[in-house]
Structure 1
Amino acid sequence: MIKVISAIPNSPNTLLVELSDGRKGTFDVGPYLERGIFKELKNPSYFKQVKAAYGGVVWPNEQDFSPETISVELIEQR
């Protein structure tokens, strides 16, 4: 099972992510920002509170993305 090893806030709405399978790249949260609980991630200071946990990424108010979602949508660095 793939897990998120690290997640670092990058430019607005993106995370620099490293996965347990060695892949690294950018995950764009932008497409989710108009959906329910994810609207809070529009706040830049709140967005920066992201952490890698439980295999995926999470924020304090329980917004999260699974490692599967991140793996599929990851824009890999070359």
Structure 2
Amino acid sequence: MGAGTPRRTDGGLGTVCPQAVSEGDRAVAVSPAVRPATSWRIAAVRPLADYRIWVRFNDGREGVVDMADLVNSPEAGLFSSLTDTALFDRAFLLHGAVTWPNGLDLAPDALYDLLKGRTECRLSP
């Protein structure tokens, strides 16, 4: 500060008082729920036997994604956790993407492209 600069403004800033913290995230109460509308976003998912999932996209395209090669591969990395069928069967949708409770997800746009013109595709490492 320069020699002629005042050290405080007239009236001062006063004491900062803590504000009450909201008890919940009010964003979840938005009605209606926000649903991604892009055609390649997934609208429904259903886990199937043998590390396969059925998906339906917002535009009606649907098909089966076979993940057995990926999940059972030595190069599966984090996806190897899905060999636990109890975990695999807990697939759900989050913002239009297939997601698992451990945070793994599948890129819906890539699945959309893989299922173009077919009803089944296979994921590999």
TM-score category (smaller protein): 0.7 to 0.9
What is the CA–CA distance in structure 1 between the aligned matches of 2:93 and 2:101, rounded to whole Å?
12
Q: For structure 1, which runs of at least 5 residues remain unmatched after alignment?
A: none
Alignment map for 1:1-78 (pairs within 5 Å): 1=38, 2-33=40-71, 34=73, 35-74=76-115, 75-76=118-119
- Cα contact 1:55–1:66 (8 A) shared by 2: no
Identity of aligned residues (%): 25
1:1-32, Cα deviation, whole Å (9 max, x unpaired): 31111110112110011101111110112232
**Contact persistence 1:51–1:58 (CA under 8 A):** yes
What is the TM-score with the length of structure 1 in the denominator?
0.86
Q: Which has the larger radius of gyration?
A: 2
Cα distance in 2, alignment partners of residues 68 and 30 from structure 1 = 20
Q: Which amino acid aligns with 1:14?
A: R
| Counterparts of 2:50 and 2:59, CA distance in 1 | 26
CA RMSD of aligned residues (A): 1.5
Q: CA offsets, 1:46-69, max 9 Å, x none? A: 100000112210001111001112
Higher strand share: 1
Runs (4+) of structure 1 moved beyond 6 Å? none
